[in-house]
Chain A
Amino acid sequence: QSALTQPASVSGSPGQSITISCTGTSSDVGGYNYVSWYQQHPGKAPKLMIYEVSNRPSGVPDRFSGSKSGNTASLTISGLQAEDEADYYCSSYTSSSTLHVVFGGGTKLTVL
């Protein structure tokens, strides 16, 4: 089972918006509305930012939004702030074998 495909890195200036893509297949991203996004700062545990494609857990700023089109999900961060600099991972439920969940390879966000 291959990991979901994410760009290795993205960057943006404070106040700008960026979008991170997450491409899978019809067996995972395209087949279910179970796409999640996680933020991980160095040396810290991942934090859930988006679940079920576009839902934000309590406490996550509304600058973070998620969407999906076909086999590609996207995380958009608007009004970039310095503290948004982190690694971001997508994940999806998958019907492939007994894996159940697959992660993307991760995207390093740099705030210039």
Chain B
Amino acid sequence: EVQLVQSGAEVKKPGESLKISCKGSGYSFTSYWIGWVRQMPGKGLEWMGIIYPGDSDTRYSPSFQGQVTISADKSISTAYLQWSSLKASDTAMYYCARTLTIGEGLDYWGQGTLVTVSS
């Protein structure tokens, strides 16, 4: 069974760093792209970027370039999304999802990680 399991909810202060994870199982982790999607409270889905764990090829949405870092450790089938200095505006639900080809469709999704940034 294909599964993407994300790390738990986080509460952080502005300026703190954070790294959340997305662990894949039930399929060849290195053969699919893992994308990250942001959903701010009460808002729609936003594309953040994507990584191919097979060779770590990473692409960022212009809106998120320089704001976050996407990485992956194929030895443990896990992708990451990290911030070096959080802002209150980073408060959102973050989803990881896999796709065989960029743009084809995200066929399996993680359960989401809620990040709350508040002083």
- List chain B residues, Cβ under 8 A from A57: 105, 107
User: How many angstroms between the C-alpha atoms of A97 and B63 in the bound complex?
Assistant: 11
| Known contacts A52-B104, A98-B62, A99-B61, A89 near B44 by CB under 8 Å | yes
Candidates A45, A91, A106; contact of B110 at CB < 8 Å: A45
Name the interface residues of A81-112: CB closer than 8 Å to any CB of B.
Answer: 87, 89, 91-94, 97-106
State whether the Cβ of B65 lies closer than 8 Å to any Cβ in chain A: yes
**CB of B94 to closest CB in A, whole Å:** 11
State whether the Cβ of B88 lies closer than 8 Å to any Cβ in chain A: no
| Known contacts A34-B103, A52-B105, A93-B102, A99 near B45 by CB under 8 Å | no
Count residues of A near B (Cβ-Cβ below 8 Å): 31
Q: Size band of the B side of the interface?
A: 20 to 34
Candidates B62, B95, B112; contact of A97 at CB < 8 Å: B62
State whether the Cβ of A18 lies closer than 8 Å to any Cβ in chain B: no
**CB of A65 to closest CB in B, whole Å:** 15
A28: nearest chain-B partner, CB-CB:
B103
Interface string of B75-104 (1 = CB under 8 A from A): 000000000000000000001010001111
State whether the Cβ of A41 lies closer than 8 Å to any Cβ in chain B: no
User: How many angstroms between the C-alpha atoms of A98 and B61 in the bound complex?
Assistant: 6
**CB of B4 to closest CB in A, whole Å:** 9
**CB of A62 to closest CB in B, whole Å:** 17
Candidates A38, A40, A47, A98; contact of B59 at CB < 8 Å: A98
**CB of A89 to closest CB in B, whole Å:** 5
Centre residue among A50, A57, A94, A99 by max chain B CB count within 10 A: A99
Residues of A that sit less than 8 Å from B by CB = 1, 3, 32, 34, 36, 38, 40, 45-48, 50-52, 57, 87, 89, 91-94, 97-106
Give me 10 A-to-B residue pairs in the complex whose CB atoms sit less than 8 angstroms apart, sorted by A's number. A36-B103, A40-B45, A46-B109, A47-B109, A51-B105, A87-B44, A99-B61, A101-B35, A101-B102, A101-B103
